[in-house]
Amino acid sequence: MPGLGGAPFRFGTLFDVTGSSGADRRQIAITANAAVLVNFLSYLGLTPLYAEVARDLHMGASGFGQFFLIQGLINVLLQVPVGVLADRYGRRPIMLIGLVFMLAGQLLRWQSFNGPTFLAGQICIGLCGPFVVSASYALIADVYTQGRARALGVLQASINVGQGIGFLLAGLLSPWIGWRGYSLCVAFLPVLLLPLTAMLPKLRQVANLRSVGASIVVALRFLAIPAATSLAAVAALNLGAGSAAIYLLPFLVERHHGSASMTSFLLIPYLVGSIVGGPLVGSWADRVGVRAPALACVATAIAGLLGFAFLGYNIPTISVCVALVGAAVSALLTLTSESVIDLARRNGTGAGAALGGIRIGQGLGPALAPAAAGFIFDTSGPTLAYVAMAAAMVLAAALVFMATATKALRASNGP
């Protein structure tokens, strides 16, 4: 199949999957989905309690957001190097290292009675993301050719299921055990995943004659391709707007005298939208390509964000807006990942390194957006904060159009 602009197809993965059995594929898919589910349950489960955590640490929304800035920057800086290492040494050891960081982050949150300890926990969580999430996406890219966009949509749905389970558990358990006790409970999950990950089938690795440093240079050159740069920017704007909307929700609820349990309830529509959005839009993209589905996702996100800004605070309205944002953000993340994998294989770049590049964008969004949105929220109120998020998605729409202007990015229909 011809590549972008008519370039010939070059299969860029560094792992040979032709001998993988159906059982191996199922085991890999189950492990990858379980890993991202637990990662995001651990990382974002505290979301309904952010206002309470910030209050315990004597901080406002903007100051508390700086913890996520530092965590996110660490995540961003490590994406390409860890992706290259995953291509070179395999997904399994990288994921095992990530699970250890995940455990350490939750134990530090459990012991956080001051800002520096909580920051140390966020640093471990920042280290965890590149090792667990990028390797999980790369595993799916390794074992799927046909139906890859749908498989990535299912992986994205697992991420959102993890977030949703964390939201609900935090809201239900915090009245009895507090946010520190919740963090201790969550710390047991990566321990359970360690043996499952250790038993992953080992894919036969294709010889790679480049050094690690040279491989990083190749990965960065790939990221400099205009289409790849645009897709990374779309990922940053999309996930930044989505994470900022959810980050502000507990502060918005608290401003209207609601509780953490109410925040958890309002996040249920986000969970439903996120679970449905990824697989459905992934299946659509497998049939028609990514351009039309991506632009539809952007429009849906803008509608939800403007609803937050102008429709007023009431439970039905917030529920609908949260569902729209959740579905759109989840689906657009699926489409950017699929597009980058397809582009990488057409340019002979390893999937791990290429996904590390796109996850730079995915990391920058959540790193910068909470602090920025928190600052606008504290100084100018929620309306302007949500309008700013909608404006970011308008820019994302322009970048999607530019990235697909010459020839719409199409999902791979490999052998």
Under the phi-then-psi rule, with left for phi > 0, alpha for psi from -120 to 50, and beta for the rest, what region is 257?
A: left
Q: Is the distance from CB of 77 to CB of 126 less than 8 angstroms? A: no
Q: Which residue is listed with tokens 């994921």?
A: 95
Task: Kindly report the pTM of this predicted structure.
Answer: 0.65
Name residue 133's amino acid: V
Structure tokens at 66: 């700086």
pLDDT in tens, the chain (415 residues): 233 333 332 333 444 444 455 677 788 888 888 998 998 888 777 877 887 888 888 887 777 877 877 877 787 777 777 777 777 777 888 889 999 999 999 999 999 888 889 989 888 888 887 888 878 877 887 777 666 777 777 887 788 788 778 877 887 887 888 888 888 988 999 999 999 888 887 755 544 545 556 666 666 677 767 777 788 888 888 888 888 888 888 888 878 777 766 777 777 888 788 788 877 887 788 787 778 888 899 999 999 999 888 887 788 888 898 899 988 988 888 888 777 777 777 766 666 666 666 667 666 777 678 778 888 888 888 889 889 999 989 998 888 887 766 443 443 333 3
- Look up the CATH number of domain 12-403: 1.20.1250.20
Q: Is the distance from CB of 126 to CB of 75 less than 8 angstroms? A: yes
Q: Is the distance from CB of 271 to CB of 326 less than 8 angstroms? A: yes
Pairing of strands 15-16, 204-205: antiparallel
Rounded distance between C-alpha atoms, residue 138 and residue 119, angstroms: 29
Taking alpha carbons only, the member of 165, 137, 186 closest to residue 31 is 137
Instruction: Give Cβ neighbours of residue 311 (< 8 Å, ≥ 6 apart).
Output: 317, 321
Q: Is the distance from CB of 182 to CB of 174 less than 8 angstroms? A: yes
For the chain, the structural domain boundaries read: 12-403
Q: How many residues does the chain have?
A: 415
